[in-house]
Amino acid sequence: MINNPYLNIGTEASTGCIILDRPKALNALSLDMCDALATALRAWADDPAIDRVIISATPGRAFCAGGDVRAIAPDIRADIAAGDAYFLTEYQLDLLIHLFPKPVVVVANGLTMGGGAGVLLNASHPVITTAMDFAMPETAIGLFPDVGASIFLRKAPPAVAAFLGMTGWRIGAGDMAHYGIAPRVIDADSHDALIRAVINTPDTGGIDAVLDGFRCEVDEKPLVDAEEWITRHFSKPDPVSIRAGLEGDDHPMAEKTRHALDTRCPLSIAVAHRLLTDPQMEPATIVDAIRQDYALALRMIRHPDFVEGVRALLIDKDNAPAWQPASLSGVTGAMVEAIVTPEDAPVLAIPEASVSTKGKA
């Protein structure tokens, strides 16, 4: 149907099946992969023989570690249009998944970050396993928590959402389920059986019952256990005061949190804080969230921090980015405003296959 070396795309019974198969890159989404995913979904949207879609990944460490920003950063140096094209394609894929007129079951096992979270959490039926390792790490590379994070991270209390978005903290299935980010958790050993059960379900009306039949509880919730501490610090009004309050704190999470705030992109941290705490930036719908992300992303990739962050973390791997500005105290309100209130930003178009979708926002 669609030829991409990193995707296994096919059909079984009335199910469209997509398997991410790029394990050496932790299934990071390239531009071509996003295009192929979207092409398959558009074909199935109009195919009366297909009444559901399942997206999963080959066995390994990751479901999807995010967008393949390492591949596009050198192109952006030469031509910013390459970055525009990538984020347009990625965000339109997220919208296509969210607005798809048939059930989309995404089963995520292992590392799931950034763009991988966009595929998972914008689906009608996201399922995570007990092996989930989730993060929104964009502040490490000069970006911000995107792909609808201003909706799904805000399901947690405001301070917790800010903490996750600013620090890129990794959490497991117990915390994700507790905060409603991904409520359906299954045992990792049930991954293949659940997929088989969804394929074999005669009617799509029975999918919810099938998924709930595999559901399990996870007792470990370290983020929930630390919520009082997180709230005490991350309820402060700005990143500078948050960082100052952490000085000298001896909580088990304090040192790692200080390190994150000291080493990640200061402008990105400030933008993430604004995105996840300002009521005026809370979108009403996922469509609004992803459109907002698109406007912000076009500004962020034009700032030198993005290419520098990708260079330092993913290409040269020297972990010594030269951020501009170099510290949280150097970030001005005007700098943040220039990102979060872009003038004349293009509006992300709704993908064609989703235009007729009813009842979703």
Helices (H) and strands (E) in the chain, counts: 17, 9
pLDDT of residue 344: 74
Residue 200 neighbours by CB under 8 Å, 6+ apart: 13
pLDDT band at 358 (very low <50, low <70, confident <90, very high): very low
pLDDT of residue 68: 94
Q: Which of 83, 114, 115, 148 is catalytic?
A: 115
Instruction: With CA atoms as reference, report the closest residue to 347 among 301, 306, 302, 290.
Output: 290
Q: What is the pTM of this model?
A: 0.95
Q: Is beta strand 15-20 parallel, antiparallel or unpaired with respect to 104-108? A: unpaired
Domain boundaries, the chain: 7-354
When pLDDT is averaged across residues 355-361 and rounded to a whole number, the result is 50
pLDDT of residue 353: 67
pLDDT of residue 323: 99
Dihedral angle over CA of 276, 277, 283, 285, nearest 10:
60
pLDDT of residue 73: 81
- Proportion of the chain above pLDDT 90, given as a percent: 89
CA distance 352 to 248: 54
- State pLDDT tens for residues 131-161: 999 999 999 999 999 999 999 999 999 999 9
204-218, 269-283, 345-359: lowest mean pLDDT where?
Answer: 345-359
Q: Which of 16, 66, 67, 83 is catalytic?
A: 67
Q: Which of 90, 94, 133, 138 is catalytic?
A: 138
Q: Which of 90, 146, 227, 305 is catalytic?
A: 146
pLDDT of residue 359: 43
User: Which secondary structure element, helix H or strand E, spans residue 243, and what is its range?
Assistant: helix 239-246
CA distance 284 to 222: 30
- State pLDDT tens for residues 64-112: 999 999 888 887 878 888 899 999 999 999 999 999 999 999 999 999 9
Instruction: With CA atoms as reference, report the closest residue to 233 among 286, 294, 162, 281.
Output: 162
Token duo for residue 143: 């970006």
Question: Is residue 115 annotated as a catalytic residue, yes or no?
Answer: yes
Residue 49's CB is within 10 A of a number of other CB atoms, namely: 9
pLDDT of 163 above 90: yes
CA distance 93 to 113: 16
Residue 11 neighbours by CB under 8 Å, 6+ apart: 1, 17, 49, 50
For 188-240, give the DSSP string. Answer: GGGHHHHHHHHHH-SSGGGHHHHHHHTB------HHHHTHHHHHHHHTSSSHH
Looking at the domain that runs over 7-354, which CATH code has it been given? 3.90.226.10
Question: Is residue 67 annotated as a catalytic residue, yes or no?
Answer: yes
* Contact status, residue 118 vs residue 147, Cβ threshold 8 Å: yes
CA distance 84 to 80: 7
